[in-house]
Structure 1
Amino acid sequence: MSRAGALARAARWIARGVAALALAAPLLVGLAPAPARADERWGEVVSAPFARAWAAVVAGLQREGWEIDHADRALGLVVTTSRRLAGEPQGARTLTQRVRLRLAVTPLGPERTAVTVVREVFLREWVLGLVRDEPVVAHDAARAPRPGPETRVLDAIRAAL
């Protein structure tokens, strides 16, 4: 067998192996357990039109002292600025644990609106002005959800309605 023939046969063998791996990869990924994130989701359906629920969400966040970083009424999305949970500034390099809230306001009809609050916990590394955020992965996926700022925000939204 010539060298060119051997190379062609090796290329076909590699191509078949890559194709088989491409077909098997989604199956293998689907079987692997996904890491649990430290996000906790809370929500409820309120008896109010979207416009009134949106105003109540903004008022509830302000009442609880959360500043709004990004709000898009067309998408029904509100993201708050982050707050520091742990860690102190230490000069040129800082590693802190932070939390922010992500709220989704979804109309379910003319007089019903769903409000969902997600607490996102992440590590923020600050090195000489460069910021990198990394989500915190929970070690115990079966832990019971603890009420936190999201329940207080939902209470404030209910009070604003």
Structure 2
Amino acid sequence: MRKLCTVELLSSRMIKQFEATRKAELELLVSSLKRAAEMREIVDLSAMVSGLIGDTNCLMVFGRKYADKDLDHEKGFKMMTMEALEFAGKFNLADYFPYVGFLDLQGRNRKMKSLSKTFDRFLEKIIDDHVNNKQEKKQTKDFVDTMMAIMEFQFDRRHVKAVLLLSVTHGS
């Protein structure tokens, strides 16, 4: 799987293919900053750069940006991603005292199952959208398109979702 991702998804050809996308997103950020400067507005540069990275990752991985309303959850896609990343970095008592892990004293197992179900529904929706729009001719194939082509003879939807989830969470 690692070799496949390196050869198919992270090749120089694939990275170069998204050069225009990255440039367009950066131009949007710069023009937004220019407008804010002209109007003498205060901007949260960290949030803007984080948004740029998230939007660029979504374009490269999923083929389109996902607004908060696109995730079937009241918090939205970006908030759920941030929540998952924060959750992963929080202190876990069971890491230091494995014998208390089954007690789920911090509610981590319950929270992880909830996050997992939410992301699974979202990734299923993305894969279904790609399957349903397979005939659509795109200039640039995203990660999902590439993985769906490989999936036909290499692996199943679980593998696709795992790689997509890693692509989004490790790129943010």
Superposition TM-score, scaled by structure 1 size: 0.25
Q: Which has the larger radius of gyration?
A: 1
